[in-house]
Amino acid sequence: MTRERKSPQQKKQLEYTKNHFTFGRHSSRMFPTTWKRKKTRSNREYRRKSEEILAQAKPGIAIEDAELLADDLTAARFQKSVILKPLHKIGTVTLGEKVKRKLDRREEAVGRRVQRRRKYDQAAASAISTLCSLDGEKLVAVVRRADLLYRKRNAEELKRVMQSNAPIDRAIYFLYLVGWGSGCGSAFEIDAVRRNPELDNALGIWLKKAKRILTRDKRPIKRKLQEKQITRKKLSALRAAERRGE
């Protein structure tokens, strides 16, 4: 009798329903070994419990005890006392279920990626808009705070800025994440700026302003250092002259 030939669609449907797949640590190579081990452990436990109950009815016991055991050790009581635990195949699904899970995960990943980009784009636009709206003493104060946070890595200040919802604090935290344009910041924030040329240009202009402010702040410090170096050189020259005069 010839076997009925199946169409490719029927073969594929049978594969989806009959073939199984294991995920993660329950891999197809390890599953036969672990499944055999689970069955062996379950059967061993069943045999031990059975032997413990049947050991009471072995030859050599008294007649009175045998009569008592005959009343207690019925088939129904034995089945209730000794139960073979059912085994469950963890992580094993049909091929159709595997394909469905992968397709669902792919759709979720696409939506999640779009939502994540939109979130970082909005955060970058809000932070840069806040920074560009500052001027005068407010601009100088924000630049100094951001520079101090970036250089000193103050844990308490960083935690406060992270948890704050104030626009200026969010803008300072954004500057901290992008690393002040050094290329060592968070990839998500940097990508959000690069995706929008207008934001990238606006941030670049603001960073130039901030660097000019920091350079102006450092001039008195450099001047004091230069004065100390000149004074130190004069003292060294005087001491050398005194030693030559002696």
Map out the domains of the chain as residue ranges: 24-90, 118-222
Global pTM value: 0.52
pLDDT (0 to 100) of residue 63: 46
- The sign of the CA dihedral 133, 138, 143, 146 is negative
Q: Per-residue pLDDT tens for 157-169?
A: 888 888 888 999 9
pLDDT (0 to 100) of residue 74: 54
pLDDT (0 to 100) of residue 25: 59
Give the percent of the chain with pLDDT over 90.
Answer: 7
| Cα–Cα dist 98/64, whole Å | 61
Average model confidence (pLDDT) across the chain: 78
Specify the higher pLDDT residue, 86 or 197. Answer: 197
21 - beta bridge partners? 93
The b/e string for 145-177 (b: 16+ C-beta within 10 A; e otherwise) is: bbbebbeeeeeebbeebeeeeeebbbbbbbbbb
Q: How confident is the model at residue 125 (pLDDT cuts 50, 70, 90)?
A: very high
Give phi and psi for 243, each to the nearest 5: -65, -40
Specify the higher pLDDT residue, 215 or 59. Answer: 215
pLDDT at 69 over 60: no
Q: How confident is the model at residue 68 (pLDDT cuts 50, 70, 90)?
A: very low
Specify the higher pLDDT residue, 152 or 193. Answer: 193
pLDDT (0 to 100) of residue 14: 85
Specify the higher pLDDT residue, 51 or 79. Answer: 51
Query: Degrees (nearest 5) of the Cα angle 118, 122, 127?
Result: 150
Q: Per-residue pLDDT tens for 172-212?
A: 999 888 886 555 557 888 888 888 899 989 998 998 988 88
pLDDT (0 to 100) of residue 75: 52
Q: Cβ distance 164 to 96 under 8 Å?
A: no
Average pLDDT over residues 85-107: 80
Q: Cβ distance 85 to 42 under 8 Å?
A: yes
Average pLDDT over residues 102-110: 83
